[in-house]
Structures are given as structure tokens and as C-alpha cells.
């Protein structure tokens, strides 16, 4: 019997759950089932849905669907547009954070105007930070705007050595910036693209082996590991215009446990990257009686299919891993065990409108 270790429930600050408008790729019910199977008990959902979550009406519709479907706890991001600053204080309070897409990616959300960027960064006062998709030269540009506006900026999916160097310098100057990296940028590189084809395409794209090595060598600058779980169907990925993005909720923790086994990461740092830092950066409330049991000795090969995510494929298929999720508990209830998701749709809670969690059945108190 190999050692079972209990970790706090993981918090994934970057997932795409596709509701509304992309239910054939993922729903709140399927994506949060994948989360629980991966030991993730709290997800922050991205706003590049269809329609995108950029106003009260869209936010309410997504909230309604999340309330009905989510099996783990969650909060929803708002998306920035050229015209929606300032977002109302009530919306800011209810959102996970404000997502600004500065670089191009899946969906139409993008802010390229400097005045709009300044307006958003000046006027955002939410409990969550401004989360920015910025690549290359846009990283120092956003650092400069953080210095100018005082906005708390969280950089999404940093993937290159030079970007990380800029973030290190910004932190050394005392600027309130944080960053996340994804498992796919830690494990895969552009050398995997010939093998993976369009199934290895995402934004930011897989980088060079030197970039990947720089992420590992600079783990001290990295605040969180987040999946950027971005499901698209096999048919879409194999089609003529494959959308960027890969699923990752069910493989993040086993990959990180493998790194612990290999001596590339300590268990303490794993918990900081996937739980403590995400909670602090996004001002998230504790989840009592919430944990994940992992079997540190389990050896397995990542399969092609058999996943809980609706798209049922993985860019990590074929990797040999060491460590596996055995059981997940959320607020006192076992919600995943031995391959089976037990939590029902609607049992997850919105952590921005529920001020405390006392016992698994008690209704939360809303502050809106």
C-alpha cells in the first residue's frame, strides 16, 4: 500500500467552462466534475463565453447556470471591453476578478486601446485582481500601467523566460503584480508540436525548451499554477480551423506530484502554488473540511480518453506519472472517490456571494 497524503483542495484560478454558448465543449456540470476528479475544489471561470460575460445581464445568466450546474465551488470573471469601464461596484464585488485580453486568443474579447486599458485599471476595485492575458512586449506595458494606476495585476499563463524576468524585476521594485504558469508550459514545448499537431496548439503557444527550463528555474517568482483548462472537441481540434486551447483540470495535480517525486518541487511549494497563493491573490474564503487525498506511489500512464471533461482528450496522453487523486472532499462531503464523481450539479457554491461556509447543508448568506 503506497502512502496516501492529504492536501488542501486545489484552487484553479483559470478555467473555461464554456457556458453559455459552448455547451458541446464543456458545461458547469462536466467541467466541475473534471475539477473534483483532479482534486480541484474551487475554480475561477473565464468570461470568453458566448455571449461574453461583460455586463450585468450576461453575468446574471452565467451565474444562474453556474448555480444550477456547478459541482465544486466557483466564482466568475468579468471580461473587459473597450466600452464597459467602469463596471458597477456591485458587479466588481461579485466577480472573481476582471479579465483583460490584451493579446489575441479564442473568442472576440480583446482590449487594444490604451485609454480603455487605463480606465479599467484605474476603476477596478474588486476583491479580485485585474487578470491579464499579455504576451511579449505587452508584459512590460502592463507592468507600466500597474505602476501608473496602482491596479493589482495578475498575469495569466506566463510562458517565456523574458516575460518572467520582467515580472521578477517588477516584484523587486515592489509593484503589486503576481503571475501564474500552466502545466502545459511546464511540461510541453514547441518540440512536442510536430507530435501533437493542433492538439498542442494553445495561447500562449508552447515555447522553447529554454523557456520551459526558465519556468522551473524561477519557481520562486511564480505565484500559482493554473490549468487554463480550455476544452475544444476532438473534431474541432482536428478540423480546418482548430481553436487554441487544451484541457487540464484532471492532470494538473498528478503532474505536480510527479515533479515532487522527481525532486523538482517540494510538497510545501505545491500547496502554495495551488492553494495558499491563489486564495490570497484572489481574496477567496476558506473552504472548511475540504481536502484531497493523493496516492503518492501510484504509477500510471496518462490515457487518451476516459476523462470527466466533456471533450475527453488530453495533451499529456502517454506521459508516465507518479501520484494520483484517490478521494476529494468538499465542505464535509466526499465528492469524488476512486474514479467516480459523487457531487451533484448545483452543489457547488459561488464564493463571492456566500460569505461563510458552516456545515455542508446550510444556506449561505449573500451580500449583494
Binding letters toward ligand NCD, positions 336-355, x by CB under 6 A: --------------------
The answer to whether the beta carbons of residues 361 and 346 sit under 8 Å apart is no
Binding to ligand NCD, residues 217-236 (CB under 6 A): 228, 230
Binding to ligand NCD, residues 273-332 (CB under 6 A): none
Binding letters toward Zn ion, positions 295-314, x by CB under 5 A: --------------------
Whole-angstrom distance, CA of residue 230 vs CA of residue 98: 18
Nearer to Zn ion, 19 or 228 (CB): 228
Binding letters toward ligand NCD, positions 73-112, x by CB under 6 A: --------------------------------xx------
CB-count burial class (<10 Å; 0-12, 13-18, 19+) for 195: exposed
Binding to ligand NCD, residues 20-79 (CB under 6 A): 48
Give yes or no for residue 228 binding Zn ion (CB under 5 A).
yes
Q: What is the dihedral of CA 26, 28, 30, 32, to 10 degrees?
A: 120
Q: Is the dihedral of CA 343, 347, 351, 352 positive or negative?
A: positive
How many chain residues touch Zn ion (CB under 5 A)? 1
Binding to ligand NCD, residues 124-183 (CB under 6 A): 133
Whole-angstrom distance, CA of residue 77 vs CA of residue 66: 12
Give yes or no for residue 202 binding ligand NCD (CB under 6 A).
yes
Nearer to Zn ion, 73 or 228 (CB): 228
DSSP for 121-142 reads HHH---SS-EEEE--TTHHHHH
Give yes or no for residue 26 binding Zn ion (CB under 5 A).
no
Give yes or no for residue 15 binding ligand NCD (CB under 6 A).
no
Give yes or no for residue 245 binding ligand NCD (CB under 6 A).
yes
Which one of 29-37, 243-251, 305-313, 358-366 is the stretch in contact with ligand NCD (CB under 6 A)? Answer: 243-251
| Residue 200 cell numbers, joined | 498542442
Nearest of 328, 322, 343 to residue 11 by alpha carbon: 328
How would you label 321-341 residue by residue, b for 16+ Cβ within 10 Å and e otherwise?
A: bbbbbbbbbbbeeebbbeeeb
Give Cβ neighbours of residue 34 (< 8 Å, ≥ 6 apart).
Answer: 229, 247, 249, 250, 307, 308, 309
Residues near ligand NCD (CB under 6 A):
16, 48, 105-106, 133, 202-203, 228, 230, 243-245
Binding site for Zn ion (CB under 5 A): 228
Amino acid at each position: 500500500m503506497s502512502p496516501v497524503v492529504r492536501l488542501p483542495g486545489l484552487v484553479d484560478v483559470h478555467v473555461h467552462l464554456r457556458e453559455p454558448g459552448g455547451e458541446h465543449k464543456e458545461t458547469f456540470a462536466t467541467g466541475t466534475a473534471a475539477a473534483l476528479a483532479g482534486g480541484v475544489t474551487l475554480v475561477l471561470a473565464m468570461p470568453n463565453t458566448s455571449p461574453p460575460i461583460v455586463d450585468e445581464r450576461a453575468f446574471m445568466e452565467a451565474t444562474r447556470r453556474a448555480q444550477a450546474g456547478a459541482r465544486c465551488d466557483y466564482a466568475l470573471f468579468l471580461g473587459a471591453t473597450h466600452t464597459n469601464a467602469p463596471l458597477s461596484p456591485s458587479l466588481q464585488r461579485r466577480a472573481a476578478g476582471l479579465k483583460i485580453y490584451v493579446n489575441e486568443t479564442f473568442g472576440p474579447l480583446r482590449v487594444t486601446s490604451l485609454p480603455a486599458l487605463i480606465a479599467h485599471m484605474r476603476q477596478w476595485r474588486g476583491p479580485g485582481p485585474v487578470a491579464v492575458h499579455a504576451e511579449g512586449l505587452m508584459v512590460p506595458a502592463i507592468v507600466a500601467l500597474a505602476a501608473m494606476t496602482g491596479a493589482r495585476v495578475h498575469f495569466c499563463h506566463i510562458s517565456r523566460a523574458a516575460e518572467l524576468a520582467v515580472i521578477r524585476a517588477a516584484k523587486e521594485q515592489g509593484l503589486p503584480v503576481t503571475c501564474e504558469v500552466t502545466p502545459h508550459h511546464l511540461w510541453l514545448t514547441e518540440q512536442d508540436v510536430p507530435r501533437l499537431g493542433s492538439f498542442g496548439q494553445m495561447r500562449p503557444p508552447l515555447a522553447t525548451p529554454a523557456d520551459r527550463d526558465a519556468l522551473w528555474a524561477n519557481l520562486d517568482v511564480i505565484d500559482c499554477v493554473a490549468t487554463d483548462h480550455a476544452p475544444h472537441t476532438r473534431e474541432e481540434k482536428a478540423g480546418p480551423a482548430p481553436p487554441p486551447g487544451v484541457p487540464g483540470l484532471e492532470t494538473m495535480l498528478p503532474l505536480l506530484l510527479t515533479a515532487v517525486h522527481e525532486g523538482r518541487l517540494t510538497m510545501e511549494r505545491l500547496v502554495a502554488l495551488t492553494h495558499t497563493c491563489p486564495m490570497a491573490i484572489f481574496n477567496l474564503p476558506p473552504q472548511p473540511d475540504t481536502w484531497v487525498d493523493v496516492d503518492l506511489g501510484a504509477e500510471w500512464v496518462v490515457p487518451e480518453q476516459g476523462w470527466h471533461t466533456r471533450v475527453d482528450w488530453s495533451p499529456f496522453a502517454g506521459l508516465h506519472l507518479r501520484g494520483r487523486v484517490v478521494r476529494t472532499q468538499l465542505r464535509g462531503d466526499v465528492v469524488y472517490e476512486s474514479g467516480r464523481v459523487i457531487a451533484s450539479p448545483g452543489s457547488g457554491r459561488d464564493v463571492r456571494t456566500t460569505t461563510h461556509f458552516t456545515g455542508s447543508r446550510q444556506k449561505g448568506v449573500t451580500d449583494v
